[in-house]
Amino acid sequence: MKSFALVPALAAAALLAGSPAALAAGNHDHTPLHGGIVAETKAADFELVATPTSLRLYLRDHGKPLDLAQASARLTLLSGSDRQEVDLKPAGDRLEATGSFKVAAGTKVVAVAQLGGKPLGSARFTLK
């Protein structure tokens, strides 16, 4: 009879292993590759790296690199009542803009990207 006591525990473990969260985690890695914040959309993974002097957006096709030569993005930074819109252009493996940016903790960022003139999607971030 004691051997049957493990059956509910094993069944629960099997259910957890097959949960949507566990399955999604196995599809591809959402670890930041460039020290930024990652957001997943249907079309791509967005990784934002924001400093006071540069904004960089890395785009991946769910773990695979994208050719960004024909890509662009617009970021909208919202900090309190301040709003700043910034256009990002291709710079190697990322989209980038340099200048002076308000990127304090709590700043909200909306990124809208295009690839080859077609919408790639949008992502929202909150800076830490």
Contact assessment for residue 47 and residue 36, using Cβ atoms and an 8 Å cutoff: yes
Give the mean pLDDT of 63-88.
95
- Of the segments 1-15, 32-46, 101-115, which one has the largest average pLDDT value? 101-115
Terminal-residue alpha carbon distance, the chain:
53
Distances (CA, A) of 94 to 9, 33, 109, 113: 46, 12, 17, 12
**Complete domains list, the chain, with CATH:** 30-126 (2.60.40.10)
Q: What is the pLDDT of residues 32-62, one digit of tens each?
A: 666 799 998 888 999 999 999 999 999 999 8
DSSP state of 81: T
Measuring CA to CA, how many Å separate 127 from each of 54, 75, 99, 119? 14, 13, 18, 24
Mean predicted confidence (pLDDT) in 120-126: 95
Question: Model pTM?
Answer: 0.75
